[in-house]
A and B are shown apart, each in its own frame.
Chain A
Amino acid sequence: DAKTTQPNSMESNEEEPVHLPCNHSTISGTDYIHWYRQLPSQGPEYVIHGLTSNVNNRMASLAIAEDRKSSTLILHRATLRDAAVYYCILSSGGGADGLTFGKGTHLIIQP
């Protein structure tokens, strides 16, 4: 599986936008870029995913570089409830063979 690289931790202030980066320089043409987050004592939660174009949903936006070697998860207005570990994952194989989780980025939100 192609690997992703994320910062270990990031800190942001409440009500400000947050940009979480992810590098995936060995991505293949069929790899989807997935983002999940895990709040303390809970299972991971799907945030967003995309292939080539930027994507928006009610939780976040995903900006994908033109060469697809990097992507950025954007939380438009962080709240304390967004404090979590955020995972950037590449997925292939029809989605049926599991996601490989790295260490993710621990996002700290300051009030």
Chain B
Amino acid sequence: DVKVTQSSRYLVKRTGEKVFLECVQDMDHENMFWYRQDPGLGLRLIYFSYDVKMKEKGDIPEGYSVSREKKERFSLILESASTNQTSMYLCASSLWGQDYGYTFGSGTRLTVV
């Protein structure tokens, strides 16, 4: 089975801290994605990447950056965490092409205090 592993299930950080959320997939997928999920707002796409060192902005990229130095790893970076970034963060990956589904990780619940 394809696995998408997020490094932490729960994370508590202070306002202003730099935060790294790590995601690793083990099936050689080209595409990787970061979403956040908030009650009443659903899942929203933050950034995605279709190749190493490539990145594209999603619907809500403000306050975030990403890094993809290796194909299997996609990192989400909060340069200076704020309380409005408290959320569930979900990573996903997929093969290139329309005929494939996405595989999601279990999520990281980040609380910024």
Contact = CB atoms under 8 A, between A and B. Distances in A.
Interface of A: 30, 32, 34, 36, 41-46, 49, 51, 91-92, 94-104
Contact of B31 (A46, A92, A96): A96
B98 A94 contact: yes
B42 A103 contact: yes
Interface stretch (B12-20, B64-72, B76-84, B103-111): B103-111
Given A43-B90, A44-B43, A99 B97 contact: no
Contact of A98 (B48, B97, B101): B48
28 contacts: A30-B98, A32-B98, A32-B99, A34-B101, A41-B107, A43-B4, A43-B90, A43-B92, A43-B104, A44-B92, A94-B96, A94-B97, A94-B98, A95-B31, A95-B98, A95-B99, A96-B50, A96-B96, A97-B56, A98-B33, A98-B58, A99-B45, A99-B102, A100-B45, A100-B59, A101-B43, A101-B44, A104-B42
B30 interface: yes
B90 A97 contact: no
B25 interface: no
Interface of B: 4, 30-31, 33, 35, 42-45, 48, 50, 56, 58-59, 90, 92, 94-107
B25 to A, nearest CB: 13
A101 to B, nearest CB: 4
B102 A46 contact: yes
Given A36-B101, A95-B95, A104-B42, 14 more contacts: A41-B107, A42-B106, A42-B107, A45-B104, A92-B98, A94-B96, A94-B98, A95-B31, A95-B98, A96-B30, A96-B31, A98-B33, A101-B42, A101-B44
Nearest to B107: A43
B105 A43 contact: yes
Contacts of A97: 48, 56
